[in-house]
Structure 1
Amino acid sequence: MNTQGLFKTIALTGLIFTAGAMSPAMAKMSIEDNQCNVTLNYDVTVEPQKLSFSEKGAEVYRVELGKLYIDGNQVELNDKQAALLADYSEQVSKQIPEVIDLVDDAVILATDAVSMALTPIFGDATAAKLDELLAGIQSRVDQAAYQQGDKFYLGATESSLEEAFNEEFEQEMEQMIKNSMGSFMMALGAEMMSSEGGSFDEKMTAFSSKMERIGEDVELQISEQSEAIEAKAKKVCANFEQLMALESELRQSIPQLSSYELATLSDTE
C-alpha cells in the first residue's frame, strides 16, 4: 500500500461518516466489487418464520409461514407461485445475514486501518480520541445492520440510514472533531518538524517517506482480512445475481409483486 492507498483506506471511513451523517438522503446501502454493484431498495428483516420488506418504517410486503402479504393483505397463491415464493424466501434468508456480516467486517477493517495508520503519527493519547470517533461511527452502522439472536435486520434505504446517522450523531461528531482538532494538528505539526532534514522541504520528504512505510506496514497487517472481505463481496454479488434471477421469475409469476424489486444489480465497467 502506497501513501495514496493509505489515504484511500482512511477516506473509506470518512465516507461512511459523510454519507450517513452529513447527507444521508444521498445514499442507499450498496455492495460493490470488481464485477458487480448491488444497491438494495428495501429494508429487510429476517426472522425464523417471517421475512419482512419495509420502507420508511412501513412494511411493504412480507412472507410469513409460507403466505404472502402485500400492504397487509394476503395474496392467494397457486402451487407454482407458492413454491417460487418458498425458494425466494429461503435465498433471501440466507443472503441477508451474509450482507450484514460483510458490512460489519468492512467497517471494522476500515476503522482498524485508520487507527493503525494514524496512531504512529499522533501518538496514543491523541489516537484514543480518534478511536472514540470511529467507535461512534461503528455504533451507528450497527443500528443499520445487525443481528439480535435469530433476528437479522438490514436497513438499506435512505430513510433508515438517515435515522441511524441522524442530526444528533452529526452534532456529536462535530463536537468531538472540534474538541480534538487542536490536538491532531499539534501532533501532526510536531511530527513533521521532528522529521530528519534541515530545510522544510527535506523534512516534508522525510515525513512522506515515513507515511509510505506506515502504509506498507498497515497493508501487511490488514492484507489477509482485506482479501477475505473481497472474497465475501464477490460471493455476495454472485449470490445476488442468482437471487435477482429468481426474484424476476417470482415477480412475473405473481403480478402483485411486479413493482417491488429488492435490489438493483448492475455490472461495473
Structure 2
Amino acid sequence: MNRIITLSALVSLGLSTPALAHDDNCNVELDGNILYERGVLTVDMDNGSTMTITPDHNLTVNGEAIGLDSQQQRWVSDYYTHIDTAIPMSVSIAADGLALATTAVDEVFGELFGADNDVVTEFNTMFADMSAELDDTFYDENGAIRINSREMRQKEWMEGGWENEFEDRVEEAIAQSMGKILVALGTQLMWEGGDMEAFEAKMDRFGESIETRVERQALKLEKKADQLCQVLADADEAETQMQRHIPGLDGLNLMDVSYHGHADKM
C-alpha cells in the first residue's frame, strides 16, 4: 500500500500548480465583473457604472468618452497593457498546469505499467476532456482569447474553483483505478521474482527519478506564475491611480493584489 501512496503523491505533484489566489508571496483578489473580447476591456464598477477601454486605450464610462490629461492617459494605458498581458499569461499557466499533470501521469503510470495501460488511457482521456473545457472557457469560436468573469464564476473557474475541480477529478480517478493499479503492481512484483525488497528498492529509485523531473517542470511553472503576479500588481497600482484621479472611476476596484510587500489598496 505504501507503493500506492507513493504513486499517488507523484501524480499529485502535477496538480501543485501555482495558486495565484492564495500563494504565500502573491495574493490576488478579484471583485466585480470583467469582459475581455476582441481586445476590448469592459469592467463593471462598484458604483453601477461600466468602464470600457479599447485596444487603442480610449476610455469610456457608460458609453461616454472621458477626456484625460497626459498623466491620466498613462495610467489608463498602463492598466490596459498590464491586463492585456496578464490574460494570455493566465491562460498559458492553466494550460501548462494541465500539461504538467498529464506528464506526471504519463511518467508515473506510463513508464511503470506501459503507455497502453488502461489506467494511463483513462487519465489521458480525462485530461483531454479538461483541456477541451479550458479551451471552451478561454477561447471564442475563432480561437481568440475571450474572458467573461460571469461565465467563469458559473463554471466555478474563479476563486480557486479550477484547481479544486482539477484535484477532485484526479483523486476520484485514482480511487476508481485503484484495483487496476494493484493488479499492475502485482504484475510488476511477479517480474521481480516475488522479491519484495528488490521491488521496493526499484520503486523508490523510480519515484525519486520521476519526482525530480516533475518538480523541475513545476519550478518553471512557478516562475511564470511569479511573473504573472508582478504584472497583476502593476495593473492594480494603475487601477488605484485611476480610481483616485479620474472622475467617474471612483467605483473601479476590480482587483486587489499584494506581492512581495506590494501593499493592498486602501
TM-score of the two chains, using structure 1 as the length reference: 0.67
Task: Supply the RMSD in Å over aligned alpha carbons.
Answer: 4.0
Q: Are residues 189 and 86 of structure 1, via their aligned partners in 2, closer, same or farther at CA, if it must alter by over 3 Å?
A: closer
The structural deviation recorded for 1:131 is 0.5
Q: Distance in 1 between matches of 2:201 and 2:50?
A: 54
Match of 1:229 in 2: 221
The structural deviation recorded for 1:248 is 0.4
Match of 1:106 in 2: 97
User: Does the 8 Å CA contact 2:230/2:259 hold for their aligned counterparts?
Assistant: no
Match of 2:10 in 1: 6
The structural deviation recorded for 1:211 is 4.9
Q: Distance in 2 between matches of 1:236 and 1:245?
A: 14
Q: Which amino acid aligns with 2:137?
A: A
User: Does the 8 Å CA contact 1:32/1:237 hold for their aligned counterparts?
Assistant: no
Structure that is richer in strand per residue: 1
Q: Are residues 103 and 196 of structure 1, via their aligned partners in 2, closer, same or farther at CA, if it must alter by over 3 Å?
A: closer
The answer to whether structure 1 residue 185 and structure 2 residue 178 are counterparts is yes
**Percent identity over paired residues:** 21
The size of the alignment, in residue pairs, is 232
The structural deviation recorded for 1:243 is 1.8
The structural deviation recorded for 1:251 is 1.0
Match of 2:132 in 1: 139
Q: Distance in 2 between matches of 1:138 and 1:193?
A: 32
The structural deviation recorded for 1:150 is 8.4
Q: Distance in 2 between matches of 1:137 and 1:150?
A: 17
Q: Which runs of 5+ in 1 are unaligned?
A: 14-28
Q: Which amino acid aligns with 1:258?
A: D
Q: Which amino acid aligns with 2:42?
A: S
The answer to whether structure 1 residue 38 and structure 2 residue 28 are counterparts is yes
Q: Distance in 1 between matches of 2:60 and 2:101?
A: 39
Give the secondary-structure state (helix, strand or coil) at the position aligned to 1:257: coil
Give the secondary-structure state (helix, strand or coil) at the position aligned to 1:246: helix
Q: What CA deviation, in whole Å up to 9, does each residue of 1:131-151 have, x standing for no partner?
A: 101111111122233487784
Match of 2:77 in 1: 86
Q: Which amino acid aligns with 1:130?
A: F
How does 1:93-172 map onto structure 2 within 5 Å?
Answer: 93-120=84-111, 123=114, 124-126=116-118, 127-146=120-139, 151-155=144-148, 157=149, 159-163=151-155
Q: Which amino acid aligns with 2:10?
A: L
Question: Quick check: 224-233 or 134-143, which moved more?
Answer: 224-233
Question: Quick check: 259-268 or 248-257, which moved more?
Answer: 259-268
Q: Distance in 1 between matches of 2:41 and 2:64?
A: 14
Give the secondary-structure state (helix, strand or coil) at the position aligned to 2:42: strand
The structural deviation recorded for 1:97 is 1.9
What is the aligned counterpart of 2:42 among 34, 49, 52?
52
User: Does the 8 Å CA contact 1:192/1:207 hold for their aligned counterparts?
Assistant: no
Q: Which amino acid aligns with 1:236?
A: L
How does 1:192-231 map onto structure 2 within 5 Å?
Answer: 192-194=185-187, 196=189, 211-231=203-223
Q: Are residues 222 and 10 of structure 1, via their aligned partners in 2, closer, same or farther at CA, if it must alter by over 3 Å?
A: closer
Q: Distance in 2 between matches of 1:230 and 1:223?
A: 10
User: Does the 8 Å CA contact 1:43/1:160 hold for their aligned counterparts?
Assistant: no
User: Does the 8 Å CA contact 1:31/1:233 hold for their aligned counterparts?
Assistant: no
Match of 2:161 in 1: none
Q: Which amino acid aligns with 1:237?
A: C
The structural deviation recorded for 1:153 is 2.4
TM-score of the two chains, using structure 2 as the length reference: 0.67
Q: Which runs of 5+ in 2 are unaligned?
A: 158-164, 262-266
Q: Are residues 257 and 150 of structure 1, via their aligned partners in 2, closer, same or farther at CA, if it must alter by over 3 Å?
A: farther
